[in-house]
Structure 1
Amino acid sequence: MIFNKFPLYVLSRILCIMVTLLVFTLAITAPGYHASCVLLAALLIGQIFEMLRFVSKTNTELVRFLAAARNADFSQRFQLSKQGSGFDELGETFTEILDKLQLARTGQEEQLRHIKAVVEHVPVPLISIKANGQLTLWNNSARRLFGAHAITRVNDLIRFDSDFPQILTSMIAGERRLLDVTIDDMEHRLSIVASEIATGGEREILLSMQDIQSELDSAQLQAWQDLVRVLTHEIMNSITPVASLAKTAVDLATDVKDKVQPGSSDNREVPAEEIVEEIDDVLSAVQTVARRSEGLMHFVSSYRKLTRLPEPKKSHIKVSTLFSQVQQLATRGWPEKGIELSTNTRPGELDLMLDVDMAEQMLINLLQNAEQALAGIKNPQVSLSAFLNARGHVVIEVSDNGPGVADDLDDKVFVPFFTTKKEGSGVGLALSRQIMIAHGGHVAMRTNNCGGATFSLTF
């Protein structure tokens, strides 16, 4: 190696300089060697310069090598074969070291890119918050969650919920919380888990924010379907024989009544009027049972709709066309009632990929609810509109200027069987919610500032 030979090269040059210096001293002290003294002096000076050149050349290449390593400049090459014996080996050593450093650096960069790609494709939004309030969105899921909103500071989250920043910054490592927020008119239930990172003495909170709203909707829907399935099975098993027996009793009572009526050949000694009166009472009671049983069977059969919703058969349709079809089906008697309907679609060519029959049923239910809510209202008005929200989702809204819904009932209107109407079944809105979940969307209700309610279908 050149580093092992370097002391020998330096020592040999020093010895040569010392020998020349010794001879030069002898020549000066001896008379008659003037020419020799001049030659020896020139030789000594040349050896000293050659010694300095040799040492400085090595130092220069060493400095260049260290600078290249420090600045990660792996393009440097050390071709030193022309600079003297041993320098070619030194140049090859420097080049080999830089190549190994470059290989290690490339491996680290590939590993970093791999880690970034993994983090980028994690389906759970990841954010971090530093002590100074700086917020970083680490992956695509986090950027999708907050949409087009510029989020760089934790206080930027106030626009979604006033308590959002305080809740996040107060979380400690290992803590888990559930938080409901509304972003771009879309509801999200976030399961937030916190961990802590310390780099360079700086504390940073890492938060995973999994949106479990759709999973909760599906689980809740499945629970209600299971409940309804059990209820309908048990009720139908009980009601069917009751209805059958009641119908049979009605037929038998009618037959007896015919036989004991005055003038019948089957008259007995008991006064016919008394028998007819008694049988009339029985007949009335049995008819009531039969009528109630039939009504209960009809009532139960309506709930079966919640458990027998087929898979949506989706097709493209213009929203304006959908509105026109629904208007023809649901608003025939509105002019006589003085109800004014306005429709608006932005843009006019807006279209959707959905099950048209299901969508029509939803909108008809919502329009009928609006019609019933407007009973007794002066200047009743209903608005049917469609537009694109900030996320590019199609939103259909049905609004009315009726009395609205009480605040304490906001979270109950979509619960199966819940209704505020005396003759309502509580199925319409629950069925609409189920249809929206089947389409991968959601339905929401809000009270208007000027009165009335608005139902939003977000696809």
Structure 2
Amino acid sequence: MAFKNFRIGVIGRTLLICTTIACWMYLLLHTQYYISGILIVAVTIFLVINLIRYVEHTNEKLSRFLNSIRYSDFSSSFRDQGLGTSFKNLNSAFSKVINEFKKERLQKHENYRYLQTIVQHIGIGLISFDQQGEVELINTAAKRLFNIPTLRNIDDLEDIDTKLYETIIRLRSGQRSLARISVQNEPLQLALSATEFRMRDNNYKLVSFQNIHTELEEKEMEAWQNLTQVLAHEIMNSITPIASLSETIHTLLKKNLSTQNGAYRIDHESFSDVKDALETIHTRSHGLIRFVNSYRDFTQIPDPNFQVFSIKKLLQHIKSLHKGEAENHDVSINICTDPDSLEVTADPDLIEQVLINLTKNAFRALKNTGNACITLIGGLDEHGKPIIKVKDNGDGIKAENYRKIFIPFYSTEKATSEGGSGIGLSLSRQIMRKHNGTLTVSSKDNLGTTFTLRF
């Protein structure tokens, strides 16, 4: 039975069902045509079933739509004709939703391919693996770095280098580490960084690998060149006057030394010159010895003896040590700790030496400064880790010296009995590295300098 409209179809089928029921009632009550009645009942049942199927067409369409979304099958179309405005609107809504899903799926696929292209072409090696060690991702850079075609399980890296494998397993999210390995007799100095994430109810670790061997060699060469220049400068400063004075003594003795009755004689003036030259040689020789001892101290820093101690008490001790010097130079020393109960785990003796070095530097920076002030600050940084600052209100560090102040034996002023040998800042930074911490500096012209110890 064909109808042009869904409503007409439903109404027509309902009327036919009612008509057949009425006919059946009439035959049952007023006639004895039992066979005809049975046929009418069969027709009625057929019409009811037809009506149910006709109405359930909407539910079937909705079920087909939801299954298309469930199984990501966006090839279905909803274009039934001749079922009225309501079905036309329903088909239109279904088609729009399907098209939106197609766009989202296409965009998702494009984003995935974009990210895959970036991951595969980036110069840093990337490996991602789950808790069982199954590798989910290894990019081209990592394959080239370890000279492997593929990697199925992270345990296979143990065949390349055991220490590298152990470092990867130990790394936690946000941690960094360095590893020195050799792949086919080629040395690699790797900087490792790890992050952890959760996906599909499983935990994953993503580790990045960057070969910094070349950069480290360049920095090492630059450091050696800077150190060599400073060493040559300091040694020549001592050797040159010694060599010159030795030549002077030799000339004086050759010209003015005479023999009389088997004894050597020299005039008083020449003797005085020789004596002065020998005293100068003695002084410069001892200066050179002190310089060599300083170098030895720099290369023989003891391992820290870690203890928990109060930062406030340490800063008060530093202030007491410099009380006399502060009074002599008219410098005020202030202490600021927040909170007062702040403690740090470190070697108190080594950290005290660092603070003494920085405080003496501050005194030298405050020469000829009015209202000179040194502030010792203890507190927490933005990550909640302890920091100590030594701040002065001097003229600041000149631009040409800013990047060189941590070079061993580099000094902005001549060495004196009060300091300035150029070893203090280098030694202090080495001590902080022994503590797995850092020593940094910030300085502005006419606003002073601040050294920061981060633990």
**What TM-score do you get using the length of structure 2 for normalisation?**
0.49
